[in-house]
Amino acid sequence: MTAGRRAQPLLLTVLPALGVLLALCSAGQAQAAGYRYWSFWERDGGRWTYATQGPATARPADGAVEGFRFAVSEDSGDASRPRGAADFGTVCAGTDAVRGKKRVALVLDFGTPADAPSGEKPPARRTACAVVPGDATSAEALAAVAKPLRYDTNALLCAIAGYPAKGCGEQVTATAEGKPGSGPSVGLLAGSGVVVALAAGAFWQARRRKNA
């Protein structure tokens, strides 16, 4: 077998390897689905727990502390908690009890710039003490202190205090590294460079043998 003919099987071996490499590069950008939305939390002692029902049906007691956090999350187990300390005495300090009404401390965490929709900037985290009728829901307490609220046709809470201006629970994709749009890792790219260099070197070595 001549050197020129040896080059063909070599390339047939290298090209599938390059195909696998390209597939690995694509895998480096494997997309994990998440959703950009407001999550609803209840304060249990000194910690936040994910609410077991929505704000439209939850009816907090006087002295309750509830939180809302805007973020990109895969599900309730992955959801980001409201940040910062929160307790009823601090949030509702100076708000006297009113007969027939209840006070609900609310923590509104608008999230980080990384969680924000394109072109929007999250407002600063804030707290508010809602004074509402005794049978009011969490949604009514929220409406008392954080208008405008925006809901979709399925009654999903889309915006608090007008944020975000658009969108509602939309799906967001991210790489396995959690960075939207990021490419393969440096290590993977470095590895691909080695494979390509070896393939090129083998090819030119075969050509030199053929011409010798």
Tell me: pLDDT of 37 over 60: yes
One-letter amino acid for residue 93 of the chain: A
pLDDT at res. 52: 93
pLDDT at res. 45: 82
Tokens of 47: 């910690």
Tokens of 72: 């990109």
Q: Which stretch of 52-56, 139-143, 151-155, 206-210 has the lowest confidence by average pLDDT?
A: 206-210
Tokens of 130: 């809602």
The pairs formed by 87-93 with CB atoms below 8 angstroms and a separation of 24 or more are 87/43, 88/63, 88/64, 90/127, 91/65, 91/127, 91/128, 91/129, 92/129
Q: How confident is the model at residue 204 (pLDDT cuts 50, 70, 90)?
A: very low
For residue 107, CA distances in Å to 2, 110, 111, 199, 202 come to 77, 10, 12, 59, 64
Q: Which residue has the higher pLDDT, 211 or 12?
A: 211
pLDDT at res. 90: 95
Does residue 127 contact residue 88 with C-beta atoms inside 8 Å? no
The model's pTM is 0.68
